[in-house]
Amino acid sequence: MPKYDVVLKTVEPVLVAGRRIIISENLNYPIGLPEAFQEVYAYTKEHRTDPTGCGIAIWYTPVDTTTNEDVEAAVLLKEPMLESERIKVHQLPQVEVASVVHQGRMKDFMQGYQAVLSWIEGNGYEITGPFREVYHKFVGDRMDDVVIEIQFPVAKVDL
């Protein structure tokens, strides 16, 4: 298992354009998520708005769920833009997260999840909201060389 360093940090609020979908079954690959990202990127291009930075998947369903997952494919925006029925523009709030960066093969990606979830439980934190995958480096034909940050919003558990 690769070594993962879990970091506790504050993520500043960001403006995004996103497309929310339901993934009926997600055993090894989130079917529909790449297409949702393509739709968002096409929409921003059509409206002459250049997204900035990384794509972000925002998972509204608990991490242990693998059916009927509610997820949003979002891109960071420099400035507000018009939204549509399917593409919504909104601000992600500032949040404290437990974060880990997976770098390497996509097939090993879930090990990053195991590391951060173990850290959360072992350090007396609880998950407080939707979690995020930030795609720093993700090219569809180079699945052996990805950089994805996993962010879980957390709060210290009061005992």
Tokens of 120: 């959360």
Does residue 77 contact residue 52 with C-beta atoms inside 8 Å? yes
The DSSP letter of residue 63 is: T
Instruction: Reduce the DSSP state of residue 89 to 3 states and report it.
Output: strand
Does residue 87 contact residue 46 with C-beta atoms inside 8 Å? no
Q: What is the pLDDT of residue 136?
A: 79
Residue-wise pLDDT for 33-42, tens only, equals 889 989 999 9
Residues of the chain with pLDDT under 70: 1-2, 27-30, 105-106, 109, 137-145, 159
CA-based nearest residue to 104, from 94, 115, 120, 96: 115
Residue 156's Cβ-count burial label (10 Å; 0-12, 13-18, 19+) is exposed
Q: Which amino acid is at 6?
A: V
Q: What is the pLDDT of residue 42?
A: 92
Q: What is the pLDDT of residue 116?
A: 95
DSSP 106-158: GGGTHHHHHHHHHHHHHTTEEE-S-EEEEEEE--TT-TTSEEEEEEEEEEEPP
Q: What is the pLDDT of residue 103?
A: 77
The DSSP letter of residue 64 is: T
